[in-house]
Amino acid sequence: MPRFLKDGEILETVKEVIQGGLDCRLAVAYWGNGAAEKIGIENAEGEKVHIICDPWGGACSKDELLSLSRNPRVKLRHLKDLHAKVYLTSKGAVVGSANASTKGLGKSDGQPINHEAAVRFETNEDCSELRDWFDSKWKAALPLVEQTIKTLPALKKSPPAPKILKPTVLELMEIDPDWFRENRVRLVVYEDEDASQEALDLYEKTASEVYDKDTLAAYDNEDSCPYFEIEPGWSIDTSEIIVCFSYSERKKPEWAGIWTLKDEEPRTDKNVTIVFLDAHNNHRKVRDLKLPASERALIAEKIDAYVRATDFSKDQFGELIDMNLADFWKGPLPEHPWFLKFDPEARKRIINFADKQDRNVVKIFVGRIGAGQRPNFRFQFRDGVKDYDGKTYKAGKFEELKGGIKNPKNLVEFRRA
């Protein structure tokens, strides 16, 4: 059955197919320096190794082609506009995107520069059409001899890669918030000194099983405790990236680093369970995205507003906030305690209404106006305009506005703040 290969798996599988294989036939467009040795053509069985390439595209190393042409075991031919990458022997075949080059197959560690994919075919039946295809291309190809190789154009030098300015965390959040959902970037805000003494004792007792002395010393110097105390029903897995802040009513949210799960095996002692963590990219990056101090301060500012608006309420696991970072950052923020006094259906309608706006709503201000003390709210948009849509509105009923909302008890009013 064919097997899918990716990136670093391709080189090892090509070598495996060639090693001891009879009737080695390689239709590979481009060859880089040292490619024949890298894939191990000397380890192929049989009298000859048949190779077809395309030296006219300017992507083959002349030195490598000269070496192949001088190898008595190699029969070398060229076929203009060949773009295939087929590695075929009696042991099977690899067909994919990877040329016989460092970019395609990688260095000795098999980690290529390009993002490559291929399929491994195992049986003779799978490879019969490949053999027929190779034979037809072999007949169409012409011998590539040393004299011809010397007249070939020089290997094209790749232009220097342009410097790509990678966005910061908040910049990418504006462009593609789904990246943070797909990569499971999770914001966890917990109360300062929330871990129990029992959990700390368990960490000190078992940390040496997970970390070496230098790592433990580094965490001690940073005054970091790289573990989570696990409540029943709460979980974390290896695919998640955890952005952490600690918080207390006495002070603003404090940065607590970026973490991933170090060891999937939890440690349990009596009624306490902990899992060990790894500091992720020196605490200052989400994958390779920078999270500078200025952006950490902005996130902390919104955390502070959110926690105060929810009156410091915790979830069932004792966390002040535990949600996807993009959902937190892009979601509207209830700024006023009156929001919490609305009945749940009215709150839901206000948030849904905010979600429908063309511009991102970052804050919702809620209060009461007029002699009847009826509830009202306004939106603050990310572009800084604080009115509903940049215009001045008189107090009015929301059902008169597009996408309007009705509070079941009172008509929700909107006015310019």
Contacts of 150 (CB under 8 A, 6+ apart): 62, 66
Q: Which of 221-230, 238-247, 346-355, 406-415 has the lowest mean pLDDT?
A: 406-415
279 and 383 in a common domain:
no
409 and 304 in a common domain:
no
Q: Which of 56-65, 144-153, 219-228, 378-387 has the lowest mean pLDDT?
A: 378-387
| pLDDT tens profile 249-284 | 778 899 989 999 987 788 998 889 999 998 875 667
Residue 233: other Cβ atoms inside 10 A: 7
Nearest Cα residue to 242 out of 329, 318, 323, 175: 323
306 and 363 in a common domain:
no
Is the pLDDT at 375 greater than 60, yes or no? no
pLDDT at 310: 75
pLDDT at 195: 74
Higher-confidence position of 384 and 26: 26
pLDDT at 417: 35
Q: Which of 76-85, 289-298, 339-348 has the lowest mean pLDDT?
A: 339-348
200 and 323 in a common domain:
yes
Nearest Cα residue to 228 out of 253, 177, 282, 264: 264
205 and 294 in a common domain:
yes
Q: What pTM was estimated for this model as a whole?
A: 0.59
The SS3 assignment for 62 reads: helix
Residue with tokens 């024949």: 36
**Distance (Å, whole) CA 18 – CA 413:** 76
In eight-state DSSP terms, residue 295 is: H
134 and 15 in a common domain:
yes
**Distance (Å, whole) CA 275 – CA 225:** 11
User: How sure is the predictor about 245, in pLDDT bands with cuts at 50, 70 and 90?
Assistant: very high
Is the pLDDT at 119 greater than 80, yes or no? yes
121 and 80 in a common domain:
yes
Over residues 368-397, the mean pLDDT reads 49
Q: Which of 44-48, 58-62, 144-148, 165-169 has the lowest mean pLDDT?
A: 165-169
Q: Which of 68-77, 94-103, 190-199, 206-215 has the lowest mean pLDDT?
A: 190-199
**Distance (Å, whole) CA 342 – CA 406:** 12
pLDDT at 37: 93
Residue 102's identity, in one-letter code, is T
Domain annotation covers residue 392: yes
**Distance (Å, whole) CA 49 – CA 51:** 6
pLDDT at 59: 87
pLDDT at 415: 41
Domain annotation covers residue 156: no
Contacts of 358 (CB under 8 A, 6+ apart): none
183 and 119 in a common domain:
no
Which tokens go with 375?
A: 């509830």
Over residues 399-415, the mean pLDDT reads 43
Boundary-marking domain end, from 281, 311, 328: 328
Surface-to-core class of residue 8, CB atoms within 10 Å of its CB (0-12 exposed, 13-18 middle, 19+ buried) = middle
pLDDT at 98: 93
Domain annotation covers residue 53: yes
pLDDT at 216: 87
pLDDT at 316: 84
Q: Between β-strands 227-229 and 92-96, what pairing exists: parallel, antiparallel or unpaired?
A: unpaired
Percent of the chain topping pLDDT 70: 75
| pLDDT tens profile 309-319 | 777 888 888 88
**Distance (Å, whole) CA 226 – CA 241:** 14
**Distance (Å, whole) CA 283 – CA 92:** 46
Measure CA 66 to chain center.
Answer: 42
Phi, psi of 156 (to 5 degrees): -65, 130
Question: Are 242 and 260 a contacting pair, CB within 8 Å?
Answer: yes
* b (16+ CB within 10 A) / e for 141-163: beebeeeebeebeebeeeeeeee
Is the pLDDT at 210 greater than 70, yes or no? yes
Boundary-marking domain end, from 298, 328, 358: 328
350 and 214 in a common domain:
no
User: How sure is the predictor about 360, in pLDDT bands with cuts at 50, 70 and 90?
Assistant: low
Q: Which of 100-109, 117-126, 230-239, 372-381 has the lowest mean pLDDT?
A: 372-381
pLDDT at 408: 39
Nearest Cα residue to 78 out of 105, 53, 61, 59: 53
108 and 22 in a common domain:
yes
pLDDT at 388: 45
Residue with tokens 């603003």: 252
CA distances from 165 to 159, 168, 295, 410 (A): 18, 9, 17, 51
Phi, psi of 153 (to 5 degrees): -65, 150
373 and 398 in a common domain:
yes
Domain annotation covers residue 163: no
Measure CA 366 to chain center.
Answer: 37
Boundary-marking domain end, from 85, 117, 150: 150
Mean pLDDT of the residues in the chain = 81
For 131, the domain range is 3-150
